[in-house]
Structure 1
Amino acid sequence: MPQKFLVRVTHGSHLFGTNTETSDMDIKSVVQPSVEQILLGKVNWSKAVGADDTRANTKDDVDDERHDLLRYMQLLTTGQPMALEILFAPDQFHIGDTHPVWRELQANSDLLVSRKSQKFLGYCRQQAMSHGLKGERLDAAQKVQVILDRLVKEEGPRKVLGAYLHMIVAEVKSPHVSEVFRKTVDGKELSHLKISNKLAAATIELKDAKDICDNVVQNYGRRARMAQEGQGKDWKALSHALRIGYEALELFETSFITFPRPEAAYLLEVKQGKVDPDVVGNEIEDLLYKVEEASENSSLPEEADVEFMNEMVIKNYGEAVFEAYSVNRENTEEDALLPTV
């Protein structure tokens, strides 16, 4: 039996409400693999149909991305924005008939969504680093840089960072510079100095901590200069970062994502380069903090219900195989009843 669509969704700017006359069509689908793929173990895949990476899309192009149910479930467990957008897309954006399996997933969305926010936060952080201007993060990193320069000269480059970590945090007095703890491979908690979004383990030497801090300042400074000179601004990427931030904030606060986006008009202005880049950069950073806080305070579970998700995949794939077997058996029995020549 061939592949079967569980849901096909009009995605991209048309779903978000930021499409223009020149916007191309973007379709995302979740499918039941063919019986042959299931039996041969050729599942857990994503593929693009009709994509052409050799040129920019036009309004006449259609990007059709498909994921089998198993891969889609895995995308959901990591908080992949695209997977969540498909889940919460209203019926008006569904193309063709929607399979009962998808309706069951929608009815149990509370079991599929969790506080797994790495993808949301990762994308927002990337855009904040790439397009955000000086702001508080750069100022804080520069203060750490001055302190580490002084410590390297006065205390020596090979002294361990941990001996000075609390002093650095107290002297800088910024939410962007703090002590955080991360587990090592053996499960122990290790103190780190967090400088913006970079971590320096308490066990490293001052000279290595200084290299990490120098890199943070250099990256922010380079992007800031480019923005001031009118370079390096990817307005579409900035609008995506804002949209994902808004989506994440709503998800963590309400367990739902609204489409089209309520702030679509503003996102379109950003996409078209009509908003001051300083304003956009600062808003991305503000959203980052709000999303991090909302994630910590959210009523969503820590993890998605993987057992339920696995059961849905097994049920769907198993029924596909059983249906194909039943049809094949009926055809065989009918052939046996035909008169011989």
Structure 2
Amino acid sequence: MPRKKICKIITGSNLYGLATETSDRDYAGVYLPSARDILGLDVYPIELIENEKLSQGPRNTAADIDCKYFSLRQFMRLAAEGQSAQLEMLYAKPQHHIEPPDHHWQTLVDNKGLFLSRKTFVPFVRFALAQATKATLKGENLKFIRELLTFIPTLPVSHMHEPIRSQISLKDKAHYLGPVKVEVSMNEFGAELLTLAHRKYDTGASLKRLHDSLKILESKYGTRSQSAADKGLDYKSLSHAYRMIFEAEEMLSTGTLTLPLPDRTRDFVKSIKIGMIPDGLRWETDIMQRVNHLEHVLAPQSNLPDAPDWEKIEDLHASILLSQL
């Protein structure tokens, strides 16, 4: 039998109930490998990608369509490991399906409890903390880049071909390039490196080369980063952090996941996404307190099993694949 797509689900903000007019339309699905894939010598792909680029420019807009189909094996493995994108698909409602799902998908949904465990929340928390860090980091990075792009052209033209290190100064045991505090280190070959926006530059390179590189880097930052640079916070990343924490809280407390997000949760996350942080909310402290509560209260008290039932998951995987032979 040929490869068979068993579901196609709209994901992201449209799945959570957080979509706006400018939201991208992202889709994900699952496919069954063909009999030749299963029995043949070649390794079949873990993902199949279908993209439809309708807008102009390098970045996606709401007009563009991305769809990623996971192989059944990859999907089940990621779901059992607690990866949010795969687990969320199992809790999608009928209105989230772009095409009628195959009966094999319904079999997975009927057995979605196999994939949940007390370990499920760990990837959710890691992602949430990464997004919380990203909420401030992206804006800070772009702010530093813009400060240097303003500073370097103020130097005499003759300085533009001098090495970067010629403009690095030491103040209060910290290194500065113009107005920007930077990190200077040595690599294993003894070369001095400048770290800026998570990128490393040889301090022996010219200031002109650095300026040209930063101009290219600035152009790669999207409107979210530009907004974060202006306001000091990437609200969309922060909304992702809260959404993941709320999902982890629900799974550990109830053993299920509600999508779209419950009204109260959705309203809070949506307000964060558009930059309306509730008065008095110290989000850095609040997120860490919620993570601590997940780890030390909800996880130990959860009725979920300690780990996924891998044996039953593998049996389910095998039974579905047998239908392709």
1:132-186 CA-partner distances (Å, limit 9, x unpaired): 89xxxxxxxxxxxxxxxxxxxxxxxxxxxxxxxxxxxxxxxxxxxxxxxxxxxxx
* Residues 24 and 317 (structure 1), Cα distance of their counterparts in 2 relative to 1, 3 Å cut: same
Judge conservation of contact 1:132–1:284 (CA < 8 Å) in 2: no
Distance 1:288 1:295 in 2: 11
1:115 Cα offset (Å): 1.4
Identity among equivalent positions (%) equals 31
Could you tell me which residue of structure 1 aligns to residue 95 of structure 2?
92
* Residues 119 and 47 (structure 1), Cα distance of their counterparts in 2 relative to 1, 3 Å cut: farther
1:65 aligned onto 2:82: no
* Residues 289 and 47 (structure 1), Cα distance of their counterparts in 2 relative to 1, 3 Å cut: farther
1:71 Cα offset (Å): 0.4
Could you tell me which residue of structure 2 aligns to residue 82 of structure 1?
85
Unpaired stretches in structure 2, ≥5 consecutive residues? 138-227
Q: What code does the residue aligned with 1:310 have?
A: E
1:288 aligned onto 2:291: yes
Could you tell me which residue of structure 2 aligns to residue 254 of structure 1?
254
Q: What code does the residue aligned with 2:306 have?
A: E
Judge conservation of contact 2:247–2:257 (CA < 8 Å) in 1: yes
* Residues 284 and 272 (structure 1), Cα distance of their counterparts in 2 relative to 1, 3 Å cut: same
* Residues 229 and 25 (structure 1), Cα distance of their counterparts in 2 relative to 1, 3 Å cut: closer
1:318 aligned onto 2:319: no
Alignment of 1:30-69 (within 5 A): 30-40=30-40, 41-43=42-44, 45-50=46-51, 55-69=58-72
1:129 Cα offset (Å): 4.3
* Residues 51 and 275 (structure 1), Cα distance of their counterparts in 2 relative to 1, 3 Å cut: farther
Distance 2:294 2:26 in 1: 27
1:282 Cα offset (Å): 3.1
Q: What code does the residue aligned with 1:48 have?
A: I
1:308 aligned onto 2:309: no
Q: What code does the residue aligned with 2:9 have?
A: V
Distance 1:65 1:290 in 2: 34
Q: Please, which moves more after superposition, 97-106 or 297-306?
A: 97-106
Judge conservation of contact 1:131–1:281 (CA < 8 Å) in 2: no
Could you tell me which residue of structure 1 aligns to residue 160 of structure 2?
none
Distance 2:275 2:244 in 1: 18
Judge conservation of contact 1:8–1:27 (CA < 8 Å) in 2: yes
Alignment of 1:1-341 (within 5 A): 1-40=1-40, 41-43=42-44, 45-50=46-51, 55-116=58-119, 117-131=121-135, 233-262=233-262, 263-275=265-277, 279-292=282-295, 293-321=297-325
1:89-131 CA-partner distances (Å, limit 9, x unpaired): 1122122222222222222222221112321121122234455
Q: What code does the residue aligned with 2:300 have?
A: E
Report the secondary structure of 2:282's partner residue.
helix
Report the secondary structure of 1:28's partner residue.
strand
Could you tell me which residue of structure 2 aligns to residue 138 of structure 1?
none
Unpaired stretches in structure 1, ≥5 consecutive residues? 134-227, 322-341
* Residues 307 and 318 (structure 1), Cα distance of their counterparts in 2 relative to 1, 3 Å cut: same
Q: Please, which moves more after superposition, 267-276 or 253-262?
A: 267-276
So what's the TM-score if we normalise by structure 2?
A: 0.64
User: What is the total number of aligned residue pairs between the two structures?
Assistant: 228
Judge conservation of contact 2:118–2:307 (CA < 8 Å) in 1: yes
Report the secondary structure of 1:50's partner residue.
strand
Distance 2:248 2:48 in 1: 26
1:281 Cα offset (Å): 2.8
Over aligned residues, Cα RMSD in angstroms?
A: 2.7
